[in-house]
């Protein structure tokens, strides 16, 4: 049994069916890349796992227990943490204050908070230099690092990232994704939603492609990177030029 098992999820917004039977797994130490075009249902998938949306049908089990219907904060407490699309850090708080909020569920354990902050600073040295800076004045890449760092403060067993490279230069996004690889190497299961298919497949173990609410392809990342359909739809043209 996988650490996280999603089976046959159907999710509706009103009477529009956004997910039409999504299934996927996440395993400790592995990155599962979730690819797909705009409006395919990638964010909806993550938001349903996080408990922000309720599926009409389907199952989500974590460590063998069903988490469907649990409140989002309970799901975070169990060890699943999401970095939403568009970062959503607190601009008027400092870097360090943002990280403290990420450790909210262990707020009474000051030593634990301190130790986890030290880990985040080790992973993102740039945040350490800027710990007292207001988050709103960080660069785009630094804000993304902070958003990931904040999610790591709860020491998740499953880390879900929704387009961490959005708006970043190819160099910076490569560096953020490299850090995501390091996080996985320490044993965390990662679900990585990415528009940058080339970079995502380069660091992922497995990958799936979602189109209009369904998984149309799934397999190990290296195999998918060679798949003609993936190359045509997600690795062609401008992308190839832009990221070398
Ligand atoms: N709150 C909402 N109300 C109604 N429809 C929604 C809502 N959120 C998303 N949708 C629709 O559900 C579908 C899936 O959206 P979703 O945000 O999951 O796509 P995505 O794969 O993350 O796309 P993108 O790459 O553009 O972020 C889209 O057709 C979208 O318009
Ligand atoms: Mg999205």
Q: Whose CA is nearest to atom 6 of ligand 1?
A: 13
Tally of domains in the chain: 2
Verify that 94 and 74 share a domain, yes or no.
no
Ligand 1 site, residue 47, Cβ cutoff 6 A: no
Q: What is the pLDDT of residues 218-243, one digit of tens each?
A: 999 999 999 988 888 888 744 444 44
Q: What is the pLDDT of residues 104-151, one digit of tens each?
A: 877 778 888 999 999 999 999 999 999 999 999 999 889 999 999 999
176 within domain boundaries? no
Q: Whose CA is nearest to atom 26 of ligand 1?
A: 38
Q: Whose CA is nearest to atom 1 of ligand 1?
A: 13
Q: Residue range 167-175: average pLDDT?
A: 87
Verify that 2 and 34 share a domain, yes or no.
yes
Verify that 162 and 235 share a domain, yes or no.
yes
What is the chain's mean pLDDT, rounded? 92
84 within domain boundaries? no
Ligand 1 site, residue 18, Cβ cutoff 6 A: yes
Verify that 56 and 95 share a domain, yes or no.
no
Verify that 12 and 71 share a domain, yes or no.
yes
Q: What is the pLDDT of residues 47-80, one digit of tens each?
A: 999 999 999 999 999 999 999 999 999 999 999 9
51 within domain boundaries? yes
What pTM was computed for the model?
0.93
199 within domain boundaries? yes
What residues have a C-beta under 5 A from ligand 2, the ion?
Answer: 43
Task: Decide if pLDDT at 27 tops 50.
Answer: yes
Verify that 162 and 238 share a domain, yes or no.
yes
User: Which atom of ligand 1 is found nearest the CA of 40?
Assistant: 21
Ligand 1 site, residue 42, Cβ cutoff 6 A: yes
For residue 127, report the distance from its CA to the centre of ligand 2, in Å: 26
Task: Decide if pLDDT at 189 tops 80.
Answer: yes
Verify that 54 and 102 share a domain, yes or no.
no
Q: Residue range 5-28: average pLDDT?
A: 97
Verify that 162 and 243 share a domain, yes or no.
yes
Judge whether 193 and 44 are in contact, CB under 8 Å.
no
CATH number assigned to the domain comprising residue 68: 3.40.50.300
Range of the domain at 199: 1-79+158-166+183-244
């Amino acid at each position: 049994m996988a650490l996280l098992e999603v089976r046959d999820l159907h999710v509706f917004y009103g009477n529009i069916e956004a997910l039409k039977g999504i299934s996927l797994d996440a395993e400790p130490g592995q990155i599962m890349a979730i690819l797909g075009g705009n409006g395919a249902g990638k964010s909806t998938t993550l938001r349903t796992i996080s408990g922000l949306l309720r599926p009409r049908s389907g199952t989500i089990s974590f460590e063998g227990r069903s988490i469907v219907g649990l409140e989002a904060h309970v799901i975070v407490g169990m060890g699943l943490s999401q970095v939403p699309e568009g970062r959503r850090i607190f601009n008027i708080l400092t870097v360090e204050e943002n990280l403290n909020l990420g450790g909210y569920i262990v707020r009474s354990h000051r030593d634990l908070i301190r130790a986890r902050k030290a880990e985040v600073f080790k992973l993102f040295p740039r945040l350490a230099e800027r710990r007292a800076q207001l988050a709103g004045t960080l660069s785009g890449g630094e804000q993304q690092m902070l958003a990931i760092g904040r999610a790591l403060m709860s020491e998740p067993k499953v880390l879900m990232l929704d387009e961490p490279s959005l708006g970043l230069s190819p160099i910076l996004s490569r560096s953020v994704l490299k850090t995501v690889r390091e996080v996985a190497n320490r044993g965390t299961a990662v679900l990585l939603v990415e528009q940058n298919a080339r970079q995502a497949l380069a660091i992922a173990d497995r990958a799936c492609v979602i189109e209009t609410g369904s998984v149309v392809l799934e397999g190990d990342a290296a195999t998918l990177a060679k798949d003609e359909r993936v190359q045509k739809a997600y690795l062609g043209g401008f992308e190839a030029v832009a990221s070398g």
